[in-house]
Amino acid sequence: MKPEDRSVVRRSAPPASKTTPLVTPLFPSVVYCAEDADALDDVYEGRASGYSYAREGHPNASLLADKISWMEGVEGGIITASGMAALSAVFLALLDKGDHIVAGNQLYGRCLRLLTKDLPRLGFDASLVDAADVSAVEAALRPETKLLLVEVVANPTLRLADIKGLAKLARQRGLIFVVDNTFTTPRSFRPFDLGADVVVHSVTKLLAGHSDVTLGYVAAKDEARNTALYDAVTTWGLNASPFDCWLAERGLNTFDLRFQRAQENAKALADHLRGLPGVLRVLYPGEDDHPDRALARDLLQGNYSHMVSFELDADRAGVNAFVRAAGNIAFAPTLGDVGTTISHPASSSHRALSAEERAALGISEGFIRVSVGVEEIDLLKRELTAAVAAASAAKA
Ligand SMILES: *Cc1c(COP(=O)(O)O)cnc(C)c1O
């Protein structure tokens, strides 16, 4: 370019390089420039691959979606701004006014709110049932039921959904079977292999793994449904930022290592907690004392993931003492971070429920959920031993 044609405002092409970056480049651009109108036509009509406007897709979202889709064994997954955005896309894309939803009664709290408060306002009705009980799900079906939504492992009680039974029911009754695979991740469970039609993730949690992005993922086995999901994400503006996708894709590089270590730690901690005075019960899927151990063993095949819940013999004062004595483990109402976090459902995720409603789910004041991270196991055992002892001392 001639010097008189230059301007600091005009972007220059990157310098020529025979070498390429090792690391995934970040593409913050909102728009993509085309050679001419015909070239733009080609992209819009799918005759050529390319991007036009970031709400409709960008390379960082494509790269991240592609990795998760590969893990799930599906094609055409879509990245959204959060797990809730992915769930919203499912309802907005796949339902029509008047359609009825049947969903697990222990879903993620915001999802329960969406189903019971917001969707009815828009003309979709939902019934909530125990997802471990196929006959309860069947009894909740209506002629207008179109969609069945469950999580594989429920928060915070770690109950299992009867995925095989539900998949069969969904097939018989022509329902769209949607599985939220956040807690299990594709390394513990692959819903498409057992008959799910749509899989949803909060990528915010284990997949991204560092508590520095909110992101979601949704994919359908059926191509027409994937197109509908893509259109909903693009039209309702549920898309994700390139930087978040870039961070999450970077996080995935270590996913297998993080998951394996966190899972080993969780199993060891469950065994350790069970032996501590002041711990009334421990919940870890697949263990002999877990209410859904048979389902857990059949579905998860030994990969029981990284969540451990347990019940302290404690009131609020005991819980406060526990949390303060576990001071080096973050007390934070999230999960899936690389480091261990503890949460207290009665004052966070399940605070909107009455004490009776919580009791019906088995969530007492002393109920603690641990999202186990990748720290040294001896450190975690020491910290939790001290915290449980502090809770017991507060009771005495
Ligand atoms: C966190 C979570 C969600 C919501 O995801 P966000 O990324 O927070 O919007 C949905 N389902 C499950 C099981 C979750 O844990």
**Tens digits of residue pLDDT in 354-382:** 899 899 889 999 999 999 999 999 999 99
Please say if the pLDDT value at position 396 is more than 80. Answer: no
> pLDDT at position 131, please?
94
Q: Would you give the end-to-end CA distance of the chain in angstroms?
A: 81
Q: Which of 99, 146, 162, 180 is catalytic?
A: 180
Q: Is 133 a catalytic residue?
A: no
Ligand 1 in contact with 151 (CB < 6 A)?
yes
Determine contact, residues 388/322, Cβ cutoff 8 Å. yes
**Phi and psi at residue 348, in whole multiples of 5°?**
-130, -95
Q: How far is the CA of 169 from the centre of ligand 1 (A)?
A: 26
Please say if the pLDDT value at position 163 is more than 90. Answer: yes
pLDDT band at 321, cuts 50/70/90? very high
Q: Which CATH class is domain 255-395?
A: alpha beta
Place of tokens 């259109």: 231
Q: How far is the CA of 82 from the centre of ligand 1 (A)?
A: 7
Query: How many helices (H) and strands (E) are present in the chain, helices listed first?
Result: 15, 12
Q: How far is the CA of 193 from the centre of ligand 1 (A)?
A: 22
Q: 37-252 maps to which CATH number?
A: 3.40.640.10
> pLDDT at position 333, please?
87
> pLDDT at position 12, please?
85
Q: Is 44 a catalytic residue?
A: no
Residues 145, 149, 150, CA angle at the centre, nearest 5°? 140
Q: Is 293 a catalytic residue?
A: no
Determine contact, residues 29/58, Cβ cutoff 8 Å. yes
Task: Walk across the sheet containing 78-80 and list its strands.
Answer: 78-80, 216-220, 198-202, 176-180, 145-151, 100-104, 125-129
pLDDT band at 129, cuts 50/70/90? very high
Q: Ligand 1, from 64, 79, 84: best to mutate by most atoms within 8 Å of Cβ? A: 84
Please provide the size of the chain in residues: 396
> pLDDT at position 92, please?
97
pLDDT tens track for 65-121: 999 999 999 999 999 999 999 999 999 999 999 999 999 999 998 999 999 999 999
Distance CA 180, CA 153 (A): 9
Distance CA 342, CA 361 (A): 19
Closest CA to 236 of 75, 56, 23: 56
Distance CA 259, CA 286 (A): 17
Distance CA 371, CA 91 (A): 29
Q: Is 256 a catalytic residue?
A: no
Tokens of 170: 């969904």
Tokens of 51: 């991007």
Place of tokens 């960082």: 60
pLDDT band at 13, cuts 50/70/90? confident
Over range 255-264, report the average pLDDT: 98
DSSP state of 361: H
Q: Which of 55, 274, 297, 381 is catalytic?
A: 55
- For residue 127, give the 3-state DSSP assignment: strand
Over range 143-149, report the average pLDDT: 98
**Exposure pattern of 21-57 as b/e (b: 16+ CB <10 Å)?**
eeeeeebeeeebebeeeeebebbeeeeeeebeebebb
User: Among residues of the chain, what percentage have pLDDT more than 90?
Assistant: 92
Over range 257-261, report the average pLDDT: 98
Over range 348-354, report the average pLDDT: 88
Q: Which residue minimizes the CA distance to atom 2 of ligand 1?
A: 202
What are the residue ranges spanned by the domains of the chain? 37-252, 255-395
> pLDDT at position 42, please?
95
Closest CA to 206 of 157, 252, 242, 267: 252
Determine contact, residues 212/336, Cβ cutoff 8 Å. no
How far is residue 198 from each of residues 181, 226, 308, 388, measured CA to CA in Å? Answer: 10, 9, 27, 41
Amino acid found at 141: L
> pLDDT at position 27, please?
97
pLDDT-wise least confident of 10-19, 145-154, 197-206, 301-310:
10-19
Please say if the pLDDT value at position 235 is more than 80. Answer: yes
**Exposure pattern of 253-268 as b/e (b: 16+ CB <10 Å)?**
eebeebbebbbebbbb
> pLDDT at position 326, please?
94
Distance CA 148, CA 314 (A): 37
Mean pLDDT of the chain: 96
Alpha helices in 51-207 (DSSP H): 59-72, 83-94, 109-113, 119-121, 134-140, 163-173, 185-188
